[in-house]
Structure 1
């Protein structure tokens, strides 16, 4: 599946199918035990990716690529960053805008659309948490090359690691009718990805988060 086709499928899922579920998951509302593990895992991953950036982000322009309901956007703005928060889902961008405290609104520019769009401008850093997990190795390379051309610092992002559990879930998920499942995560190995992008930059391993049904690998790309 091409990048455009995957992007369109992700947009359809988050903007029309899973908006309410995602809104609840990213709030303080009670959720099931399974979704609670996902919520805790995402909180831990957010902290891990933020730890790769300077503590003081005043005067630093950061792209929150795939901002979702705005949790990362909020944290970046609190640390002083000038944030461009973009998501493929207009519904999630609206939620993120509504949740952002009024005192931080001057620090954030929201946009709905492709996170790779050149119209978003240039950045000191990019964070793409769980927004590249549905893409192929070739698409991730293209995304990093595209973002790297407009980023002076780092691109911190996540992938689904090639663990036995995730690989089993992936192969099982592929057996389901496409209309009955969300966009399928594509597992990747950091070592192989590192070789794939070696001619355009350096890939650093930031660590893995394992929290029940949330398993994600943090990586840092420096062009």
Structure 2
């Protein structure tokens, strides 16, 4: 399991900026985005894209998860974690933002209290134990490839079956949207995303014996573009 000393300074620098953004700058906007509250048209496309991506990742997990443990790495306000717990999984949701974790705890159904736990912290650090499945939805998209590869390797050390994660694909359309996005009000901006070529991701993952890439899917809805990838043991 990674300790702070094992984590690259570049990862720590990005992580600290994300903490400030999600827990201070845009806390209210993300609470609204992850609810049914009215949002701007820009954020409505992001909400629709995130809903589609969450549904995709959940469709790659077993329908019956009784007896399985899942780590929701970068859980935000907890929507995916709740759905996995409803399938019977024991779920640990971890997020950098204590404020979003507090919302996740408040929204969690009381009936799931015995198998759903939310913690504020780094998904790579902490004594959370091992898991059958790990999901990192849009929690690695702000990091360069080297840090993504190191993070996935650290998560693989304590994962028995699969890691489902998303990355920002390097496409001309996404680059254009990022450029246009700088013209929008700060309240509609997210932290800088680090696009990565799909082939570079695949080459990095191929260096890990005992693991193979499986399904992948691109979700593009307005100002939301993210690609899901399934990495499985065996």
Measured against the shorter chain, the TM-score band is: over 0.9
| Greater shift in the superposed pair: 95-104 or 28-37 | 28-37
Alignment of 1:41-56 (within 5 A): 41-56=49-64
Alignment of 1:145 with 2:153, yes or no, is: yes
SS at match of 2:61: coil
Q: Could you give the per-residue CA deviations for residues 85-142 of structure 1, whole angstroms, max 9, x where no partner exists?
A: 0000000000000001111111112111100114111000000000000001000100
Alignment of 1:127-142 (within 5 A): 127-142=135-150
CA contact (8 A) 1:129 1:158 kept: yes
1:178 alignment partner in structure 2: none
Distance 1:144 1:117 in 2: 13
Q: Could you give the per-residue CA deviations for residues 179-211 of structure 1, whole angstroms, max 9, x where no partner exists?
A: xx6421011122111101211132334211111
Alignment of 1:21-170 (within 5 A): 21-170=29-178
1:222 alignment partner in structure 2: 232
Give the TM-score, by structure 2 length.
0.88
Give the count of matched residue pairs.
221
CA contact (8 A) 2:177 2:223 kept: no
Root-mean-square deviation (CA, aligned residues, Å) is 2.1
Unmatched 5+ residue regions in structure 2? 1-8, 184-188
SS at match of 1:152: strand
Q: How far off is 1:61 after superposition?
A: 0.1
Give the TM-score, by structure 1 length.
0.93
Distance 1:135 1:159 in 2: 9
CA contact (8 A) 2:73 2:93 kept: yes
Distance 1:195 1:172 in 2: 31
